[in-house]
Structure formats: structure tokens, C-alpha cells
Structure 1
């Protein structure tokens, strides 16, 4: 994922809180992924308007973590979602 890429959830994909299991899931038509705290933190910043660099900068400040570590972890997570068609990337 490039710093200028703008990640966005495609139509039909959304974050949902599963009250029965008390966990967050990413829902898509006929598919779902259970999210851990890190995945949820990343996806709550994905709004389809801000760049990957903006998102990772915000996360690094919020969690007082090194930006390069946040970039590495976030890129891997978002690339995996993109490969499974849970995420679009706008140029």
C-alpha cells in the first residue's frame, strides 16, 4: 500500500458489532471476518477520503507507537483485506 493510496470499504462491506459475541466483524455479502482490536482500530480510520499516510499517522499518535511499525502492520492487514475483496483502494 502506498502512502497516497486512499483505502475505502466497497459497497456492501461494513463494520458491525456482534452483540452476541461482543466483538467487531467486517461484513460483506455472504462473508464475514472477525476483527481483533488492532484490525478494528485500523478500519475505524478508513473513511474513503483520507490517505494511507494520514491514517497511519493518526494511529501512531493515538497509540504512541512508531509510525514505521504502524505502516508495516497496517499495510499488511489492508493488503490482505484488499486481496479478499473486503477493501478498495482509490488512487
Structure 2
């Protein structure tokens, strides 16, 4: 996976805040995935226009962390979501 790919939430998939549980959730047809703070931070940046590298750069500044480490974490996270078919990619 390259950092030039653009993550996109496919049709029918969205971020949601579950008020009952007080937790962020990724809702998809017939499934929901509870998100920790890291997962929510990453998916909050997914807008269908920015690459993984762009998202990593923004989060590195926001959290004062090394961009390479954040990019690796993002790549692993989005690859897992893509394998679960709740995230897709387009090329930059």
C-alpha cells in the first residue's frame, strides 16, 4: 500500500457517535465497528480528497508525533478496514 492512495468511505458507510454507549462507531450495512480514539482520529480525516500521506502529515502536526510512525499506523488501520470492505481507495 502506498501513501499516495486516497481512502474513501464507500456508499452506505459512515461515522456515527453512539450516544447510548458514548462511543464513535463506523456504521456499514449489517455491521458496526466501534472505534478507539486513534481510529476515530484517522477516519475523521478521510474526505475522499486527501492521500494517506496528507492525513499522516496533518495528524503528525496535530499530535506532535513522527509522520513516518503515524503513516505506518494509518496504513495498517486502513488496510484492515479495506479487508473488511468498509473502506476503499482511489489513486491520487
TM-score, reference length from structure 1: 0.98
Cα separation, 1, equivalents of 2:63 and 2:9: 23
- 2:33 aligns with 33
- Give unpaired runs (5+ residues) of structure 1: none
Superposed structure 1 runs of 4+ greater than 2 Å apart:
none
Equivalent pairs counted in the alignment come to 91
Cα separation, 2, equivalents of 1:73 and 1:52: 10
- Give unpaired runs (5+ residues) of structure 2: none
TM-score, reference length from structure 2: 0.97
RMSD: 0.6
- 2:56 aligns with 56
Q: Look up the SS of the partner of 1:3 in the other structure.
A: coil
Deviation readout 1:3-25 (Å, 9 max, x if unpaired): 21000000000000000000000
Q: Look up the SS of the partner of 2:24 in the other structure.
A: strand
